[in-house]
Structure 1
Amino acid sequence: MVHHTMATSTTRASKASSKINPMNLRLLRFLSTALIVGTLVACSTTPLPPASPPPASSTPPAVGAVPGDTAPLPPPLAQAKSRWVPVRWAELPGFSTDALHEAWNAWVKGCERPAPAFAPLCGEVRRLSIASPEEQRAWMVSRMQPYRIESLDGNAEGLLTGYYEPLMDAARVPGNGFNVPLYRTPAGLGERKPWYTRQQIDTLPEAQAALQGRAIAWLRDPVDALVLHIQGSGRLRVTEPDGSQRLVRVAFAGTNDHPYQSVGRWLLDQGLVRDATWPGIKAWIAANPQRVNELLWSNPRYVFFREEPLDGLDAAFGPRGAQGVALTPGRSIAVDRQSIPYGTPVWLASAGPTAQLGRLVMAQDTGSAIVGAVRADYFTGWGPEAGDVAGRLKQGLRLWALWPRQP
């Protein structure tokens, strides 16, 4: 999935049972409740921990010495945009307390399309999905080597933002206030590069003709459509022509090949706002409804979607990321692949006003604004709560790549 941040300060989100995966148990309970009440409402399954006053450093303190971590440290590793410095497990904040079974779901998902370095470990990863946290930690210490990720000039501090999957009401046919289309890719998209801009798509008859009959569904608000374009995917509660409702996903299918421009940055550059967070943007829109198109057209990039079913346990995971596997709320991140290869387990530490995090995550996605050695976009889930967290998350970050030990 390709997603974008909205620029500057605007951003897009116990012990394991010996027999039943805890997340699946929670999911089954959730799905049973949904059937009883007959709703199609979805929400984030993994809320962030409550924030506490941040310490002076951007990361929580590290734990004490880790048993079994006695092997000699290997040499550093080099990536195109980062260098990896080997460290002891004791350097990783939260390693002794993280609920690893939650991350294991993301790791098992990653094993559906593993990076070559991790494919030999996937059998063990799957078997350990029902292990205790102590067993999972001991396995990680014995099989993996942590490396502190730094920029090429040695800076280990970076930026964490968030993204999410919006949940919106939609209609299968236009009318009754639903008049903003979400389109499939048009025929012949690749024959014209770049394709029409966002403004041209909205105004030119030839662009409209090329998209005739390509609408997946219709939204009420053009700003909601822009949010879907920015996030790269979303969940729609669609009203069908017979009045029934379905929950479906619209996933990223392509773009018009124009560069992404942040509407938040446009507002700042025009001197129209000082607060370019999403709440600040919405406040400006409410006060300036006659300028909404001007705001939208400042971003020429346009995203096309494909519809995917959303039922069963699939509804408990996010869209497929750039690695090609479904994202796990709170445990999947988007990275710069020139710094961290897809499928890499990563230890993430971040402390700030929105969240205190020291946890295992998986590098499973990317984004056009996610550039640099120590840079991550944190998948918060779906629905309004996840969107609120993603919109506020902008704080310091440190990362450690976990790489298989050499025999």
Structure 2
Amino acid sequence: MTRSKSTPHHFSLFARLRSPVLMLGIAISTIAAAQSAQDVPPQIPANPDLGPAFSTRNAAYVPILLDEIPGWEDESLGDMYSNFSTNCKAMKRRSAWAPLCAKLARLPREDAAMRQFMHDEFYAYQMLTPTRSATGKLTGYFEPMISGSLTQQGAYRYPIYGIPSDMYMIDSRTVAGQQTRWLKADQGQLSGAETGEAGAREYRIDLAGGAPNPRDKRYRVRIDGSTIRPYYTRQQIDASGINAPVLAWVADPYKLYSMQIQGSGKIQLKDGGLIRLAYAEQNGHPFMPNATRGDTDAMLLAIKARGLDEPLEIDIPGGTRGMKKPGGNSAVDAEVARIVAALQGGGTASAGNTPVAHAKPRPQGKSKLSRPVTHIASSGQSGGQGKVDSSSVEAMIQLLLTAPVANENYSAADDASAVADALSAPKPATSKSSAATGSDKSAPRIDMSQYEGVAGAKAAGQAVGSGVAVPSTGIPDPSYVFFRRIGDGPEGPIGALGVPLSAGRSMAVDPRATPLGAPVFISGTQPGSSAPMRRLMFAQDTGGAIRGSVRGDFFWGFGDKAGKMALATNQPVQMWLLLPKSVAGSAAASGIKTRGAPMGLRDCAVPDDELCVEE
């Protein structure tokens, strides 16, 4: 639908209005956004079309008129009706959003009506970092497709796991400051219990190396006899297997790793058929803790590139962020050298001129699946603490970019070393019995029976990860993503909000700074170009590497074409958060309350028991 260029009277009026009262309101709002935790709650601005300013630990929110957002008047809001309706499938369960979604359902699908709706119901805020910078970073992601099998055969020997039956969640408040705690296990949850309570037992709490999830403030843990420990790391999972359903087997562990970072993907089955997987859970360990923030950017690019069929055949504009063809890897070399030089100097990995380290070209054609020549051991550091081993950082990037493509016709029987590896692999961890856990219930397993015979597929089986020897991948990242199987269709994968993602309209965010479900207007440039990219998005997903304010991960869609756009997306961005007026008012009015912590700035812009639990 072609958007009408007509603008409601009040928009043109406010666009022209620059009265002292308005300017005073903006000044008060801006000052209020910069208040510290010790200051009084922010004042309500004089202009009724400006919301109250507020701050959190992660961001500051400065009110602005909707029509003052650069590019706002050029956006075709009528075309956003279906995206808004999809978003409402999740948000209508929230009291502040329910009347908005009901009103939206009655609106005509035209630009003028949507524009009036947004003006009546939403306040706009420019998002700032804690240091009051308006500029952040936009990256991209996509839904890849990799080949696989529903049975372990030949080269298909790397499992895609569902949620483990021995992984539990526990609220950080339940164990805060506790050395021991009476707990009760039920349906994948560990909850506090009274001393001697039926079905409960006393556990020692040892969560060293673990951290609660930033969104739900829960640890992902396992029960080790009478001790609660963080759930297994990637290295432990690779070495021993876990008690979890295997949804499919793949030949290329690096493509699987890329799919874990993207959060979803499709598996083209060897014997025909297609299955679609969506994010289900994560093992509770942070993404790439052995790298600094700057190094994470480069590694993330390399990991995402691995999800493409021919990652080194891409020519992406953008200087050192680009990837060139084999034989001309100067951009990749420069990026690796930049990181190594920064690490060796003990500084940050900021752009600069550094000596070039020459990368090995990726082997041409297919070869037998082999381990990378460099095995990278995890240093055991968590949360990015300590000095990074620069050789490991360089090797990690080279591993992802230059490791050979798996030959899907490969048979382990043809490779004596692979057979020896399989036979000598450590025995897998076994799940704890109900007697050991103090409960006769365990975390729910995924029911695969409904997929039998679908698209020519056979059920992959339940918990076949236990007892299966899997060759080591050498990937040092301790984080690990578990999947669930969903139906395939034209809609996008399911994001963290619980609704299908829309290519070009959905974005992954840090839910503490950018509330899930909120509309967000972004202003940046087209990937590989200086042309502006200004559009309204919806915060519908999250990601382990997406942390901080003014930070977004743009969803480009499915397949290699979308993947190339995702890799090319790495540029500065400004963001404006749109909040329902009632939500904005309560966000500012609630001020500095926390959930039991000393008085100070909140962690979440909009606290929510499901989407962002407050500390």
TM over 0.5: yes
User: Residue in 2 aligned with 1:11?
Assistant: none
Measure how far apart 1:346 and its partner are. 1.2
What per-residue deviation string (whole Å, max 9, x for no partner) do you get for residues 347-406 of structure 1? 111125436321111111222222222111111111111111112211111111122346
Give the letter aligned to residue 231 of structure 1: Q
Correspondence 1:7-406 to 2 at 5 A? 14-15=1-2, 66-67=11-12, 69=14, 72-114=49-91, 115-128=94-107, 130-190=108-168, 191-192=222-223, 193-204=229-240, 207=241, 210-211=243-244, 214-239=245-270, 243-245=271-273, 247-261=274-288, 278=305, 279=311, 286=362, 290-291=372-373, 294=376, 295=396, 296-311=474-489, 315-319=490-494, 321-351=495-525, 353-354=527-528, 356-405=532-581
Give the letter aligned to residue 155 of structure 2: G
Measure how far apart 1:132 and its partner are. 1.7
Q: Is the 8 A contact 1:103 1:361 kept in 2?
A: no
Which whole-Å CA distance do the structure 2 matches of 1:181 and 1:402 have between them? Answer: 41
Give the letter aligned to residue 480 of structure 2: Y
Measure how far apart 1:344 and its partner are. 1.1
User: Residue in 2 aligned with 1:33?
Assistant: none
Q: Is the 8 A contact 2:281 2:482 kept in 1?
A: yes
Which whole-Å CA distance do the structure 1 matches of 2:111 and 2:488 have between them? Answer: 31
What per-residue deviation string (whole Å, max 9, x for no partner) do you get for residues 326-352 of structure 1? 221111112222222211111111125
Shift of the 121–284 alpha-carbon distance from structure 1 to 2, 3 Å rule, reads farther
Shift of the 201–76 alpha-carbon distance from structure 1 to 2, 3 Å rule, reads closer
Shift of the 398–330 alpha-carbon distance from structure 1 to 2, 3 Å rule, reads same
Task: Count how many residue pairs are aligned between Structure 1 and Structure 2.
Answer: 330
Q: Is the 8 A contact 1:317 1:327 kept in 2?
A: yes
Q: Is the 8 A contact 2:142 2:562 kept in 1?
A: yes
What per-residue deviation string (whole Å, max 9, x for no partner) do you get for residues 240-295 of structure 1? xxx441x32212222333332179979969x99x9898355897583696337544
Aligned-partner SS, 1:67: helix
Normalising by structure 2, we get a TM-score of 0.48
Shift of the 175–88 alpha-carbon distance from structure 1 to 2, 3 Å rule, reads same
Q: Is the 8 A contact 1:102 1:331 kept in 2?
A: no
Moved more, 389-398 or 86-95: 86-95
Give the letter aligned to residue 374 of structure 1: V
Moved more, 106-115 or 350-359: 350-359
Measure how far apart 1:151 and its partner are. 2.3
Structure 1: runs of 5+ lacking an equivalent:
1-13, 17-64
Percent identity among equivalent residues? 31
Normalising by structure 1, we get a TM-score of 0.71
Give the letter aligned to residue 318 of structure 1: P
Shift of the 80–105 alpha-carbon distance from structure 1 to 2, 3 Å rule, reads farther
Give the letter aligned to residue 521 of structure 2: W
Aligned-partner SS, 1:96: helix
Shift of the 265–82 alpha-carbon distance from structure 1 to 2, 3 Å rule, reads closer
Measure how far apart 1:122 and its partner are. 0.3
Q: Is the 8 A contact 2:506 2:555 kept in 1?
A: yes
User: Residue in 2 aligned with 1:43?
Assistant: none
Which whole-Å CA distance do the structure 2 matches of 1:268 and 1:342 have between them? Answer: 27
Measure how far apart 1:105 and its partner are. 2.5
Structure number, greater radius of gyration:
2
Q: Is the 8 A contact 2:269 2:275 kept in 1?
A: yes
State the structure with bigger RCO (CA 8 A, min sep 6), 1 or 2: 1
Shift of the 404–201 alpha-carbon distance from structure 1 to 2, 3 Å rule, reads closer
Which whole-Å CA distance do the structure 2 matches of 1:326 and 1:186 have between them? Answer: 25
Q: Is the 8 A contact 1:105 1:328 kept in 2?
A: no
Give the letter aligned to residue 199 of structure 1: Q
Q: Is the 8 A contact 1:277 1:392 kept in 2?
A: no
Which whole-Å CA distance do the structure 2 matches of 1:133 and 1:267 have between them? Answer: 41
Shift of the 367–266 alpha-carbon distance from structure 1 to 2, 3 Å rule, reads closer
Measure how far apart 1:118 and its partner are. 2.4
Which whole-Å CA distance do the structure 2 matches of 1:203 and 1:277 have between them? Answer: 24
Give the letter aligned to residue 399 of structure 1: M
Give the letter aligned to residue 102 of structure 2: G
Give the letter aligned to residue 252 of structure 1: Y
Q: Is the 8 A contact 1:171 1:178 kept in 2?
A: yes
Measure how far apart 1:96 and its partner are. 2.3
Give the letter aligned to residue 232 of structure 1: G
Structure 2: runs of 5+ lacking an equivalent:
4-9, 16-47, 169-221, 224-228, 306-310, 312-322, 324-331, 334-358, 364-369, 377-395, 397-473, 586-615
Shift of the 327–113 alpha-carbon distance from structure 1 to 2, 3 Å rule, reads same
Q: Whose strand proportion is higher, 1 or 2? A: 1
